[in-house]
Amino acid sequence: KIDGIIDKALEEKLVSSPSRIFVGGFSQGGCLALYIGLSGKYQGNLGGIFCCSGFLPNTTFAISNIVNPKEASTVSEETESPGVLSFDSKSKQPVLMLHGDSDSMVSCQWGEATAKRLSNLGMKVSFEKVPNLEHQLNGHVIDRIIYLIKSQMNY
């Protein structure tokens, strides 16, 4: 459905290209943003992805496709998710992950492990552990997201 929203925005000329679109979220929304940004129709072509206090479990279809791109075409129809693509290591799409080091709901280690795994695959990932931050956002996190968007949009 998100791909359809992006399609419509492009068709209606609300944006000139997918590179001017960012997906992001907090906690479960951050997990969803990672999944969509890394496995959807526009994977690799978005302006960027930001994930605050989120992660991708190793068992998700997106991660297994990214890790095993050659096997992506052999996935059975029962488990295949529409629009899932394998990662193109030439992609310049940045991934910003921010996580409070005092988060008691979603382990900071999970976010850090996701960032490390994606980085090891050649993705442009920035992970920042935010000191003394619980499972919440603060001004610093918001400033980092704004900086990501402005820098990618050349503002």
Active site positions, annotated:
27, 103, 135
Element (H, E) at 22: strand 22-26
The pair of structure tokens assigned to 9 is: 């925005």
Residue 51 bridge partners (DSSP): 25, 97
Q: Which residue has the tokens 């990672």?
A: 34
Is residue 69 exposed (0-12), middle (13-18) or buried (19+ Cβ within 10 Å)?
middle
Q: For residues 73, 75, 79 and 83, what is the CA-based torsion angle, rounded to 10 degrees?
A: -10
* Percent helix, strand and coil across the chain, each to the nearest 5: 40, 15, 45
Residue 9 bridge partners (DSSP): none
